[in-house]
Amino acid sequence: TVRELWVIIKPSLSSGEKENLIREASKVSTTLVVEPEDIELTRARSDRMDASRGGEPDILIVETIEDLVRAKEDGRITCFTLTVKNRGDEEAITEASESSADYVMVRFKDWKVIPLENLIAKIHGKSKLLTVASDVEESRLALETLEIGTDGIVVDIPDIEEINRIYEVMRRVKTRPAEIEEAERIELKTAEVVELKPIGSGARVCIDTCDLMREGEGLLVGCQSSGLFLVEAEVHKTPFVAPRPFRVNAGPVALYTLTPGGKTKYLSELKAGDEVLIVDREGRSRTATICRVKIEWRPLLLIEADCDGRRIKTIVQNAETIRLMTEAGSRSVKELSKGDKVLVRLEEEGGRHFGTLVKEEKVIEV
């Protein structure tokens, strides 16, 4: 189920401000929360669903169990709303869900994380749980809690730029299995290894994330932003080193890596708190936060490969634990030979300006 974005149109706004917010918010939202007297204005300016405490809205907002039961008897789509201040409020929300509320909209007064975890555990799959948020950080927290998150965000500010930022976060957060499976996939191709050359020591980067990667997952890195190799996380048991599934031994500081939003960054730019893009061999991707970036001087190996008539390159630490992804699995760089096939991402055209693709720009990287 797609997560929903609701936007509150506050009655304190002027008529012009309401019209502008309705028009702009309708581009990214699923539902507009309005006062009864603004339902007509909303329907004249938007094709989105409307929710209100009175009148004849698409979704009727109620504040008591009694009103909820009556509305359901009348066949209405309902949203039960409550500010969570204590355990009693949690119990009231659970009761509303058990009384067949279609939606539950919650605000949190002081404690936020633990009450939200409790509610997700109790009502997920019964009613759609929405949390009121006023910025990106609150929204992300709600969407990622317990790896399930809320079913939507209700934005309580009239700032269209922040609303758009929250929308982008909602598009990028993929914590539920269905979201990961249905996400737009990165096209990966096979490239043939044509050159392997030890090149001495250099500053290589290990990216330690706040996540645990599985076999077949890693980061896309490369010497050229237009040609990135899929390097697997350290997920395999070896005779001498324990698995470190949070880590990708990515390569030298000057390599590019693909990050959320389709941008690239140099490995040297990454730091704790930044986001990277975890990719699997099927092209499925998800976002992870960096815990630590560790730079050490190690022997390096240059790898060159051909794909669609183009030569692309990457450099990795010359050690058994670094593995490049293949269609069937992965292979240690110490076992790679000329003619082997590895997975890469190839960009068809354009160059990068501070990490952003500019299709019309001509850039040569060798």
Q: Where a domain ends, among 138, 155, 182?
A: 182
Residue 28 included in any domain: yes
Number of structural domains the chain divides into: 2
Residue 101 included in any domain: yes
Residues 244 and 140 in one domain: no
Nearest C-alpha neighbor of 188 from the set 156, 138, 228: 228
Q: Which of 182-186, 190-194, 252-256, 298-302 has the lowest mean pLDDT?
A: 182-186
Nearest C-alpha neighbor of 98 from the set 119, 113, 76: 119
- Identify whether the C-beta of residue 204 lies closer than 8 Å to the C-beta of residue 251: yes
Portion of the chain with pLDDT greater than 70, in percent: 95
Is pLDDT at 99 greater than 70 in this prediction?
A: yes
Residues 84 and 197 in one domain: no
Residues 89 and 227 in one domain: no
What DSSP string describes 239-298?
SSS--BTTEEEEEETT-EEEEGGGEEEEGGG--TT-EEEEEETTS-EEEEEEEEEEEEEE
Residues 170 and 216 in one domain: no
Tokens describing residue 66: 């009694």
Question: Tens digit of pLDDT for each residue in 312-352?
Answer: 999 999 999 999 999 989 999 999 999 999 999 998 665 54
What is the rounded average pLDDT of the residues 51-57? 96
- What contacts 120, CB < 8 A, 6 or more positions away? 129, 145, 146, 148, 149, 150
Whole domain around residue 155: which residue ranges? 4-182
What DSSP string describes 181-220?
HHSPPPP-EEEEEEEEEEEEEEEEEEEEESS---TTEEEE
Residues 103 and 220 in one domain: no
Q: What is the CATH number of the domain that holds 216?
A: 2.170.16
- Identify whether the C-beta of residue 255 lies closer than 8 Å to the C-beta of residue 342: no
Residue 340 included in any domain: yes
What is the rounded average pLDDT of the residues 23-39? 96
* Distance from the first to the final alpha carbon of the chain: 45
Q: What is the CATH number of the domain that holds 75?
A: 3.20.20.70
Q: Where a domain ends, among 182, 198, 233?
A: 182
Q: Which helix (H) or strand (E) holds 340?
A: none
Nearest C-alpha neighbor of 156 from the set 288, 285, 8: 8
Q: Measured between alpha carbons, how far is residue 79 from residues 54, 57, 70, 166, 267 in Å?
A: 12, 11, 13, 22, 46
**How far apart are the C-alpha atoms of 130 and 149, rounded to whole Å?**
10
pLDDT at 355: 57
Question: Tens digit of pLDDT for each residue in 132-153?
Answer: 999 999 999 999 999 899 999 9
pTM, full prediction:
0.75
Question: Tens digit of pLDDT for each residue in 67-83?
Answer: 999 999 999 999 999 99
Question: Tens digit of pLDDT for each residue in 183-242?
Answer: 778 999 999 999 999 999 999 999 999 999 999 999 999 999 999 999 999 999 888 889
pLDDT at 359: 61
Is pLDDT at 163 greater than 60 in this prediction?
A: yes
pLDDT at 112: 85
Q: Where a domain ends, among 182, 201, 226?
A: 182
- Enter the DSSP assignment of 327: S
Nearest C-alpha neighbor of 184 from the set 287, 289, 283: 283
Residues 12 and 88 in one domain: yes
Residues 218 and 241 in one domain: yes
Residues 230 and 289 in one domain: yes
Is pLDDT at 360 greater than 60 in this prediction?
A: no
What is the rounded average pLDDT of the residues 156-171? 94
Is pLDDT at 66 greater than 70 in this prediction?
A: yes
Q: Measured between alpha carbons, how far is residue 56 from residues 8, 50, 154, 293, 328 in Å?
A: 17, 9, 20, 55, 57
* 3-state SS class at 127: coil
